[in-house]
Amino acid sequence: MNLPAIPEPATFDRPTFEQAVPGILAWLDTVDELEVVLEADARSLALETYLAGRAEDVGPAQTVARMSEVRIGELLGPAEATNGRPLPAPVKGLHHARRNEFRLMAEWRTLVEERLPATREAVLKAIDKQRRRSIDAEARSITTLDADDWTGKRFALLAGTLRGRLGDLAEAGVDMVVTDPPYATEYMELWGELGEASAKVLKPQGILMALTGQIRLPEVMFSLACHLDWGWAYCQYMPGANSRILARHVGQAWKPWLAFSNGPWPSGRVDWHPDVLDGTLAKSRYRWEQSIEPAVQLVKTLCPEGGVVLDPFCGTGTYGLAALLAGRRFIGIEPDAERLALAAERLAEAD
């Protein structure tokens, strides 16, 4: 199939090209030859770069380039379709990271079309933001509100939210908070709520350990530092994960645990210890379930023997299980009845 009229920079004529754009976009929806679409993308990218360098309007060229990339993603199909099969030459020529970007653009075609004209980076950033919102909304959704509390010999699970159950923690004598709050921008207010509540329920020199992402790290640290004293940052490796942070073009292989204390950091209360933690993937029960080994290390190191650990965003109880395995007691808070029941089941087995 012949390429449409995508001019070389040296022969670019704006009125002619702009008039041709609707026909080029219609052509892209019909072509089934990957090599041909790759060539169209290369030409439109060259034109986009040329016009940007001359500070001219790049809109039409960007529109053709982005929709070429959407079509490449559609022709590539899902990654699973190529598992165990030799890759065709045109596919081999694309780096796997670039292939994944094109597949994302195809999956989110409507969003791409809404953002046009735009650079590839801007489109991918918008997709990443929307994906995170969708995933958060699904994974954090509360399916049942009328949950019951659960109790065991060494644990208590409270149905509700941190704000709603804060009064029940007044006499709990919490030695350590270990938690993994939501990272997305729309949940930032929870970090301030966490810091304020931890300052109220932690014993003097009690420690808050919070796992977080890095996109909003400055805001997270500020929210906690308004109420607690800064301690340290611990590194949790994520072997095999290497999440791709599109907004930064970084392959993330670790996450920080942020340590704050209720009063001066208790250096004399804890022994010397490393700040790099073991970590393995563990998401078989719940999308946001975290690895248990780092939490066990932290609890054994920083929480007094027989002490009380609190997780106000309990989920399925991973950090509760870590507390029990480390020989401590645990209090968890979770609004969703299904997740709370799963946490109770897990903790009862270890209690």
Q: Which two three-digit tokens encode residue 78?
A: 């899902």
Rounded CA-CA distance 66/2 in Å is 20
Specify whether 146 is located in the same domain as 36: no
Q: CB–CB of 312/210 below 8 Å?
A: no
Q: Give the H/E segment covering residue 333.
A: strand 329-334
* 65 inside domain: yes
Specify whether 208 is located in the same domain as 70: no
Specify whether 230 is located in the same domain as 282: yes
- The predicted pLDDT at position 82 comes to 46
* 295 inside domain: yes
Which one, of 336, 312, 319, 339, lies nearest residue 193 by Cα? 312
Specify whether 149 is located in the same domain as 84: no
| Alpha helices, H only, the chain | 14-28, 34-53, 59-76, 89-92, 96-107, 109-115, 120-139, 162-165, 188-201, 217-225, 293-302, 318-325, 337-350
* 1 inside domain: no
Name the CA radius of gyration of the chain, rounded: 26
Specify whether 271 is located in the same domain as 131: no
Specify whether 207 is located in the same domain as 228: yes
* 17 inside domain: yes
DSSP character string of 226-276: TTSEEEEEEEEE-TTT-EEETTTTEEE-EEEEEEEESSS--GGGS----SE
The β-bridge partners of 244 are 251
- The predicted pLDDT at position 141 comes to 52
Q: What is the number of domains present in the chain?
A: 2
| C-alpha separations of 333 from 121, 211, 262, 311, 318 in Å | 39, 17, 20, 6, 12
Cis, bond preceding 117 (omega within 30 deg of 0): yes
CB atoms within 10 A of CB 3: 13
Whole-prediction pTM: 0.62
- The predicted pLDDT at position 286 comes to 41
What CATH number corresponds to the domain at position 345? 3.40.50.150
- The predicted pLDDT at position 69 comes to 95
* 228 inside domain: yes
Rounded CA-CA distance 86/213 in Å is 37
Specify whether 171 is located in the same domain as 185: yes
Rounded CA-CA distance 298/257 in Å is 10
Specify whether 197 is located in the same domain as 326: yes
The β-bridge partners of 223 are none
Specify whether 133 is located in the same domain as 146: no
Q: Which of these three, 118, 138, 158, is where a domain ends?
A: 138
Largest CA distance in the chain: 79
Q: CB–CB of 343/157 below 8 Å?
A: yes
Q: What crossing angle do the helices spanning 293-302 and 318-325 adopt, rounded to 10°?
A: 50
* 2 inside domain: no
**CA 123 to chain centroid:** 18
The β-bridge partners of 156 are 151, 331
Q: Is 134 helix (H, G, I), strand (E, B) or coil?
A: helix
Specify whether 93 is located in the same domain as 147: no
Q: CB–CB of 207/176 below 8 Å?
A: yes
Specify whether 150 is located in the same domain as 113: no
DSSP 93: T
Residue 198: partners with Cβ closer than 8 Å, 6 or more residues away: 177, 206, 208, 224, 227, 228, 260, 262
Handedness of CA 16, 18, 23, 25 (dihedral sign): positive
Instruction: From first to last of the 351 residues of the chain, give the pLDDT tens digit.
Output: 566 678 888 788 889 889 999 999 999 999 999 889 999 999 999 999 999 999 999 999 999 999 999 999 999 887 645 444 555 666 666 777 788 889 999 999 999 999 999 999 999 988 887 876 665 555 555 555 567 899 999 999 999 999 999 999 988 999 999 999 886 667 788 999 999 999 999 999 999 999 998 888 999 999 999 999 999 999 998 765 567 777 788 888 889 999 999 999 998 888 999 999 875 544 444 444 467 899 999 999 999 999 999 999 999 899 999 999 999 999 999 988 888 888 998 999 898
* 52 inside domain: yes
The β-bridge partners of 211 are 257
Q: Which of these three, 123, 138, 153, is where a domain ends?
A: 138
Specify whether 87 is located in the same domain as 172: no
Q: Give the H/E segment covering residue 314.
A: none
Q: Which of these three, 82, 113, 138, is where a domain ends?
A: 138
Which one, of 324, 318, 282, lies nearest residue 303 by Cα? 324
Residue 179 backbone phi and psi in degrees, to 5: -155, 165
Domain extent for 290: 142-350
* 3 inside domain: no
